[in-house]
Structure formats: structure tokens, C-alpha cells
């Protein structure tokens, strides 16, 4: 299990444009790396739109945003276009990054258990270390949740 203070696991993936994206691309910036189950579902849409709505404020405070799910690059592009998301989404169809960040595991929904992506957000410092971990994400107000936590 990853914890605050750990070096963030390195990763390489592809974004919605099928361009390579690496953790190293964000060196020198604070990164909000959020893992979510599926594009265009109610909770994931609320979470992504919350981050979109506070994108300018987060940028001003030195944060960049990167989302990760197991959806394809094409699905990510449709999601970005539909909701005008101003940040990249990684298509981790093989779940390599998702597993490296401990975001794959047993979930329960309506009494059934299944394996899936566990909604989690990591804040990675300019130095590449994990500074915050959000396991209990408030989807509709996630940006405010992050700002409240990082400013305290």
C-alpha cells in the first residue's frame, strides 16, 4: 500500500490523443492524479467536472491534473469533448498504472462484490513524492475537498 511520503510510482501511458504521457512530464509541478472507474457515469462525471470547474484556481496554485481509468483513448476523447475537460486522461486499458497505485480491488455495489477501480486521488509533489491520498472522494465537490486539504 502506498502512503504519504512514498516516492510516486513511475508510469507511462497514453492519453486521449494516443500520445505518450509519463510521470516525468509533470516533474516540477504538483500533480493531482485521480483514478476513477468509468467515463460518462454519474459519479465520474461529477468528479471530473468538479476538477474542470476549479481548473484555473488549481493551476494558479501550481497544480496540474491527470485522470486515469481503464477506458480507451477514444472513449476518453468523447468524455473530454462532451464535458469540455481541460486536462488529459490516461487510457490504462491494461490496468498497469491503476494497479501500481493500489487502485484495483474488491468493490461492493448493491450487495454484489466484484473487482474494479477504487476511486482514489493522489497529490504528487514537485519532488515526485505522494503528499496526500484521498480514498473517500466527494465526487460532486472533489476540487474543493482537495483545496481544503492541501491548504491546511
Distance (Å) of CA 80 to CA 5, 29, 76, 87, 90: 32, 22, 6, 8, 12
Which of left, alpha, beta for 134 (phi over 0: left; psi -120 to 50: alpha)? beta
Cα angle, residue 88 at apex, residues 80 and 138 outer, rounded to 5°: 75
Distance (Å) of CA 92 to CA 16, 104, 145: 11, 12, 25
Q: Annotated catalytic residue: which of 44, 65, 98, 117?
A: 44
State yes or no: is 44 an active-site residue: yes
Q: How many angstroms separate the CA atoms of 113 and 27, rounded?
A: 38
Catalytic residues: 44
Amino acid at each position: 500500500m502506498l502512503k504519504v511520503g512514498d516516492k510516486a510510482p513511475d508510469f507511462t501511458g497514453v492519453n486521449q490523443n494516443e500520445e505518450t504521457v509519463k510521470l516525468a512530464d509533470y516533474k516540477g509541478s504538483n500533480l493531482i492524479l485521480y483514478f476513477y472507474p468509468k467515463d460518462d457515469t454519474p459519479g465520474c462525471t461529477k468528479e471530473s467536472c468538479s476538477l474542470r470547474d476549479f481548473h484555473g484556481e488549481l493551476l494558479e496554485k501550481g497544480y496540474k491534473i491527470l485522470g486515469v481509468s481503464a477506458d480507451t483513448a477514444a472513449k476518453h476523447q468523447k468524455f473530454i469533448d462532451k464535458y469540455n475537460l481541460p486536462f488529459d486522461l490516461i487510457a490504462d486499458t491494461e490496468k498497469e498504472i491503476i494497479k501500481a497505485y493500489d487502485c484495483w480491488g474488491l468493490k461492493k455495489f448493491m450487495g454484489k462484490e466484484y473487482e474494479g477501480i477504487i476511486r482514489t486521488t493522489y497529490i504528487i509533489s514537485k519532488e515526485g513524492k505522494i503528499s496526500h491520498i484521498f480514498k473517500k472522494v466527494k465526487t460532486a465537490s472533489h476540487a474543493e475537498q482537495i483545496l481544503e486539504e492541501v491548504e491546511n
